[in-house]
Chains A and B, each alone.
Chain A
């Protein structure tokens, strides 16, 4: 029991120290602040939005007269049809952009986090297995990883999504199972050095089994190192989701930034000069991907021992 409390205290101390270094990295901290804003947007979307459930047909605006047409540019004057304000305008169906962008943060965060979780679990299991057991297991698993690394990533997602159909769950799963190879490689490299270390040898000498050594001795040492890579994977996942949506393989019943942009492209936003329809969701994607990238690079600076001297 005492050992456990001591361990927790040590962990807390380490976390505090890491946080202090992380905070000193201005870009990373900036990314963190942006991320908090997005999380607030996603969680309080129903409270912050001007139109509840903006993708429901009954909540769409209708054109009124000659000077209230769709798509509606951003303005603070309430619409004559519903009396609602559209601070970022509407699209050509009358869907409120501001509220949609708020709800879109949910989809992006969900895809980013869940898909990355799938990919990290897959990558960690394969990397641990191949690094720890070595020999044939390593050879087979690494050839498998190389094969996935060589397959062109975007076309692979397109083909899988075409096979599975436009559903939000599948978007998450497909992104998750196409992005694990880099994690597997990093984990394997770490495990290869860790398993030769003395504490593993000692654990084996006192009779610990493979499962115990992996869970108690290898995993805790690997996880902090793949953390930075994981955050970068989140930004890649959000990026991929936007791409799949734009390609016409996303779930249109879910409000997401990619689907908004697909609608904008397919429904003449460019010909109409409806810049607000593209700008708001587009900027949101860029800023969110940027935020995760900044956090990822900052964490890499903090956690990667190779870069400490810089």
Chain B
């Protein structure tokens, strides 16, 4: 199969999975308790008003008609309206500004974590069985076993609440809109330090562990011994011969662990009141705002879907043995 038919097959799977996610998202939220109309108007709602609201959202129709409207609205990128915040305002107006905050945190954090994880894993694997390896792996395992929110709370307790080096909450200062561009960036950077450390440490630990295990596997292969016998320098063996093959399983596991990455981001955002998708999810759950939660789950699922697709394509580029 050539690249084109591979991409076509991937695209078909993507569409099927997307449909499955939409169906799942639609039916799961139908089992939730509560009357949707009550989310918009609280007390003293008349039956006529309930009927009008239900009619507006097609809630008086049978489920398959509702599902059809759900699919049509999704294609139009209409994610529905929220019950909390300003009731009736569209979900995307609330989600998009917060998405930027999350993308900044997750983007910078993931790149840092991948880079540091690979460096630490490489360092430990090359010194397998020596104290540096043991210390490095004990360090990585400890952070891997620690829920992100715990480490985040520790950082906040020490560096924000006690030492006052960093702000306690938020993604930027309260007078953010009055600042000029440079101050805006500085304000964001200052608020980002602690959440970034908390978020990066845990996923870095995971990547370091995978990198180390994968590399120790590769280093026992015969072709490494051959390379050594040929008199190639250690540095060259590690970087040119071993790393190439060792990176393959790392890419696979990174794709699978995107779910973990999201979990880490959610926990970090909650602890630091960092206004992003994770904090918004928390708000939506506690305000029982189901339409918003539904929209958020859909966005996160699609993000993971796209990330997996990218990982698949990267993998076929990295490993010529994979018949696409």
Contacts and interface: CB of A to CB of B under 8 A. Distances in A.
A162 B141 contact: no
A271 B161 contact: yes
A265 B29 CA distance: 29
Interface in A243-274: 243, 246-249, 261, 264-265, 269-271, 273
Given A150-B304, A152-B258, A159-B297, A235 B145 contact: yes
B308 interface: yes
Interface in A204-249: 235, 239, 242-243, 246-249
Contacts of A239: 145, 147
B267 interface: yes
- The DSSP consensus for interface residues of chain B is helix
A162 B157 contact: no
B262 A155 contact: yes
Contact of A153 (B260, B267, B285): B260
B149 interface: yes
A247 B270 contact: yes
Contact of A162 (B161, B220, B293): B293
A163 B28 contact: yes
Given A265-B153, A270-B156, A160 B28 contact: yes
A275 B262 CA distance: 27
B49 interface: no
B226 to A, nearest CB: 17
Contacts of A151: 21, 24, 259, 301, 304
A282 B259 CA distance: 22
A154 B262 contact: yes
Contacts of A285: 145-147, 150
Interface string B167-211: 010000000000000000000000000000000000000000000
A278 B271 CA distance: 13
Contacts of B29: 159, 163
A163 B284 CA distance: 13
Contacts of B160: 270
A117 B293 CA distance: 30
A38 to B, nearest CB: 14
Contacts of B20: 147
Given A147-B17, A278-B157, A163 B31 contact: yes
Given A163-B28, A163-B29, A310-B220, A246 B267 contact: yes
A150 B257 CA distance: 10
Nearest to A243: B147
Contact of A275 (B157, B260, B266, B293): B157
Given A249-B285, A285-B150, A290-B141, A155 B266 contact: yes
Interface in A275-292: 275, 278, 282, 285-287, 289-290
Given A155-B301, A309-B220, A294 B141 contact: yes
Interface in B269-306: 270-271, 281-282, 285-286, 288, 290, 293, 296-297, 300-301, 303-305
Contacts of A143: 16
Contacts of B266: 154-155, 158, 247
A278 B270 contact: no
A286 B258 contact: no
Nearest to B152: A265
B145 A155 contact: no
A149 interface: yes
A247 B31 CA distance: 21
A252 to B, nearest CB: 14
A293 interface: yes
Contact of B154 (A156, A158, A249, A278): A278
B142 A248 contact: no
Contacts of A242: 147, 150
A152 B304 contact: yes
A270 B293 contact: no
A275 B153 CA distance: 10
A170 to B, nearest CB: 13
B259 A154 contact: yes
A160 B290 CA distance: 12
Scoring A150, A158, A248 by chain B CB atoms within 10 A of each residue's CB, the highest score goes to A150
Contacts of A163: 28-29, 31-32
B144 interface: yes
Interface of A: 143, 146-147, 149-156, 158-160, 162-163, 235, 239, 242-243, 246-249, 261, 264-265, 269-271, 273, 275, 278, 282, 285-287, 289-290, 293-294, 309-310
Given A147-B17, A163-B32, 15 more contacts: A147-B21, A150-B17, A153-B260, A154-B259, A159-B29, A162-B285, A243-B147, A246-B270, A247-B282, A261-B150, A264-B153, A286-B145, A294-B141, A309-B220, A310-B217
17 contacts: A150-B301, A151-B21, A152-B258, A152-B263, A153-B260, A153-B263, A159-B29, A235-B145, A242-B150, A247-B266, A269-B157, A270-B153, A285-B146, A289-B146, A290-B142, A293-B141, A310-B216
Interface of B: 16-17, 20-21, 24, 28-29, 31-32, 141-142, 144-147, 149-150, 153-154, 156-157, 160-162, 168, 216-217, 220, 256, 258-260, 262-263, 266-267, 270-271, 281-282, 285-286, 288, 290, 293, 296-297, 300-301, 303-305, 308
